[in-house]
């Protein structure tokens, strides 16, 4: 018998007695107030992320210093050129030296301060982890109230890769001391920029 057949047969033979219907998940009232932008920002900051206001003349004013200090900027958004073309990257290792990556989020979640990316926004998935810093453009109109609303979105069923980022890479594995940039990005900054 194949392992597959054996496992399925054992599961059928050992099925616990009783009737266990699949519960319906009720609509939960969002835990956040009506000002989703403020709620999102506040929660993102608690998760170690930053929020920067776009300048009137320069959308990237809030992260200009960081961009100017960077040697390699990989941009996946039309709003910024950058100097590393993600479209022409052949293997993920090539983005290893990126200082700042700029990407657009599909949506944000106010309940947690999270943003969602799929392979389409990232172009090279690894850039969101190998870069030293991540700058995220988020349309304020794209902020959902809660996690439940997020999982009703179609991206999860159709993307090869979808990921919620909530602040930067973090660890506290040594005596509970919080450290950003464990393996992935050292910082994550969200710029509220309409599409």
Partner 1 sequence: MSVEDLNPRARDGVIHPEVRAPHDESERAQDGGRLQHAEAASKPIRAPQTREKQPRGAKVRGDRPIDQAEAAERFLAAPLHQAAHDERLWDLRKKRDASAHGIPEWEELREIASAIKAHTLTHLDHYLEQFEAAAKANGVHVHWATDGADHNRIVLEILRSHGARTLVKSKSMLTEECGFRHHMAANGIEIIETDLGERIQQLDDEEPSHIVAPAVHKTRMDVAEVFAKTLGTDPDNDDAHYLAESQRETTRPYILKADAGMTGCNFAIAETGTVVTCTNEGNADLSGNVPPLQIHSIGIEKIIPKVEHLGVFIRLLSRSALGSPITQYTSHFRGPRKGTEMHMVLVDNGRSARLGLEEFWTSLKCIRCGACMNTCPVYRRSGGLSYGATYSGPIGLIIDPTFNKRKYSTLPFSSTMNGSCTNVCPVKINIHEQIFAWRKVLVEEHQIPALKQGMMKAAGAVLSRPAAYRAAIGAADSALKVLPRFAVYNPLNTWGKKREMPDAPRQTFHAWYKQNRMKDTGR
Report 158-187 residues binding partner 1 (CB under 8 A).
159-185
13 near partner 1, judged by CB under 8 A:
yes
Q: Which is nearer to partner 1, 67 or 163 (CB)?
A: 163
Site for partner 1 in 89-148 (CB under 8 A): 91-93, 96, 111-114, 119, 125-126, 128-130, 147-148
28 near partner 1, judged by CB under 8 A:
yes
Number of residues that bind partner 1 (CB under 8 A): 80
Residue from 39, 43, 115, 135 that binds partner 1 (CB under 8 A)?
43
Helix/strand/coil for 187: strand
Q: Write down the least CB distance from residue 189 to partner 1, Å.
A: 9
Kindly report the CA angle at 62 between 187 and 72, in degrees rounded to 5? 55
Q: Which is nearer to partner 1, 81 or 125 (CB)?
A: 125
Write the CB contacts of 50 (distance below 8 Å, at least 6 apart in sequence): 44, 187, 188, 189, 190
Q: Which is nearer to partner 1, 48 or 54 (CB)?
A: 48
Q: Write b or e for each residue in 108-120: b if 16 or more Cβ atoms lie within 10 A of its Cβ, otherwise e.
A: bbbbbbbbbbbee
50 near partner 1, judged by CB under 8 A:
yes
Q: Is 138:104 a contact under the CB 8 Å cutoff? A: yes
Residue 193: count of CB within 10 angstroms of its CB: 18
Q: Which two tokens stand for residue 189?
A: 């900054």
């Amino acid at each position: 018998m194949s392992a597959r057949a054996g496992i399925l047969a054992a599961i059928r033979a050992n099925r616990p007695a009783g009737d266990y219907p699949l519960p319906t998940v009720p609509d939960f009232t969002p835990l956040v107030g009506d000002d989703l932008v403020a709620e999102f920002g506040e929660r993102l900051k608690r998760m170690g992320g930053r929020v920067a206001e776009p300048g009137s003349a320069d959308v990237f004013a809030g992260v200009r210093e960081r961009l100017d200090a960077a040697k390699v900027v990989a941009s996946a958004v039309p709003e910024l050129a950058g100097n590393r073309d993600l479209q022409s990257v052949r293997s993920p290792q090539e983005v290893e030296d990126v200082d700042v990556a700029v990407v657009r989020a599909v949506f944000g979640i106010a309940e947690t301060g999270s943003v969602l990316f799929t392979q389409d926004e990232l172009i090279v998935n690894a850039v969101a982890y190998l870069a030293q810093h991540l700058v995220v453009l988020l349309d304020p109109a794209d902020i959902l109230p809660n996690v439940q609303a997020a999982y009703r979105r179609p991206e999860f069923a159709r993307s090869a890769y979808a990921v919620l980022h909530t602040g930067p890479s973090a660890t506290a594995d040594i005596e509970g001391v919080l450290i950003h940039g464990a393996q992935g990005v050292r910082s994550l900054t969200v710029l509220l920029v309409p599409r």
